[in-house]
Amino acid sequence: NHGSMDIHPRLNRGATRVVFASNRHGGYDLFTMNADGGGQNRLIDHPGDDVFPAWSPDGSRIAFQSYRDSQPQIYAVNADGSGLARLTYHGDYDGQPAWSPDGRQIAFVRRESGGYRIWAMNADGSNQRQLSSQPYSADPAWSPDGSRIVYDADGNGDGWQEIWLMNADGSNQRQVYDP
């Protein structure tokens, strides 16, 4: 026990490596390790919190949410810690990145106009576009074939999240489960 919190663990596609956020050195930094817990390495050391990491499908890049520029934004870095790139430049919250199965797109959550919605962009940060229309949308995840995105949203404004599904282009949004 090192008196810290290790959060947001994600396995790479081959289930051999894990990326996670840890506050063992103060703020949250990204670490990688072997799936057996060995070979831990601090990927990024920065005073701003880095959280919600996500592996690219080929395991070469990691997208994540960072508070290094006051408002959370999305960054990506090579799996060895080199090649850090900021992908979003929004004046409010951008977070919870999720790679498409082909590695060409990243879905994410953006706060804008009093709500959180699912957006997508190319893996280099270009072509940012809103997908979901429900306020308080979160937790995007791609289908294995990349044709759909599942997410949770408060679709009827009652303060409760339901499960929603849409096509990857944002069309055909429909609630699939209401607890």
Q: What is the pLDDT of residue 1?
A: 53
The strand pairing partners of 89, in sequence order, are none
* Average pLDDT value for residue range 23-44: 94
Contact predicate 102/122, CB 8 Å? no
Percentage of residues of the chain with pLDDT beyond 90: 85
- Which token pair is 11? 């396995």
81 burial type by CB count under 10 A (0-12 exposed, 13-18 middle, 19+ buried): middle
Q: What is the residue-averaged pLDDT of the chain?
A: 94
Q: Between vectors from CA 48 to CA 43 and to CA 50, what angle results, nearest 5°?
A: 45
Closest among 113, 152, 144, 145 to 130, alpha carbons compared: 113
Per cent of the chain over pLDDT 70 is: 98
Least confident piece of the model among 85-89, 101-105, 127-131, 173-177:
173-177
pLDDT band at 179 (very low <50, low <70, confident <90, very high): low
For the cut 80, the answer to whether the pLDDT of residue 178 exceeds it is no
The strand pairing partners of 20, in sequence order, are: 31
pLDDT band at 69 (very low <50, low <70, confident <90, very high): confident
Please give the DSSP secondary-structure letter assigned to residue 71.
S
- pLDDT, tens only, 115-146: 999 999 999 999 999 999 998 999 999 999 99
